[in-house]
Amino acid sequence: MARPTVEEYRRAAKMPVVVVLDNVRSLNNIGSLFRTADCFAASGIALCGISATPPSVEIHKTALGAEDSVDWRYYATTAEAVADLRSRGFKIVCLEQVKGSVPLQDFRTDPDTQYALVVGNEVDGVDPDIVDSADIWLEIPQSGTKHSLNVTVSAAVALWHCYSQSLVIGKV
């Protein structure tokens, strides 16, 4: 398969989506989220609070080098990341099951809008204050006895949904 080099990928078109990790504690999950962001051409990752940052052997195990291809920034708090992204014109989108959430299949991206997709802590989800401040809430419909997916799986499903509507498919 003809894959771009890291340098080519960094210069390629990206989706207008930044993935915001709200206190994601598992370094394996963080690495997997880097790899998923690379796969679906997210424009970046915001690592917040207790979320670890590269370089890290544990992150690298699942990122497989995507920590070098995906732009990332660390914020001391998720509130700080949300405020920064909102000030730069991003709509804040929480991936969380709440009253008023939009089923993922009904969400349509606007090519002229930038989105900050907030995913939460493996146990507690997205911080309630961040949920309350969001512009949009997305929910992945589920039929089983469990009421949640692993943070990396849910982020991948949501990013694929955005990617499938994106103009960057085939440009990376």
CATH of the domain at 145: 3.40.1280.10
Distance CA 3, CA 69 (A): 13
For 80-102, what is each residue's pLDDT tens digit? 999 999 999 999 999 999 999 99
Do the domain assignments include residue 149? yes
Cα-based angle 66, 172, 47 (whole degrees, multiple of 5): 35
pLDDT, mean of residues 131-153? 95
For 11-63, what is each residue's pLDDT tens digit? 999 999 999 999 999 999 999 999 999 999 999 999 999 999 999 999 999 99
Domain count, the chain: 1
Do the domain assignments include residue 33? yes
Distance CA 36, CA 42 (A): 8
**Predicted confidence (pLDDT) at residue 150 exceeds the cutoff of 70:** yes
Do the domain assignments include residue 169? no
For 24-38, what is each residue's pLDDT tens digit? 999 999 999 999 999
DSSP letter for each residue of 45-75: EEEETT---SS-HHHHHHHTTHHHHS-EEEE
Do the domain assignments include residue 172? no
Do the domain assignments include residue 171? no
Please tell me the pTM assigned to this model: 0.95
Sign of the CA dihedral running 24, 133, 100, 45: negative
Do the domain assignments include residue 131? yes
**Predicted confidence (pLDDT) at residue 109 exceeds the cutoff of 60:** yes
Cα torsion at 118, 123, 152, 137 (round to 10°)? -30
Sign of the CA dihedral running 74, 130, 80, 39: positive
Distances (CA, A) of 29 to 45, 49, 101: 13, 15, 24
Domain extent at residue 58: 6-164
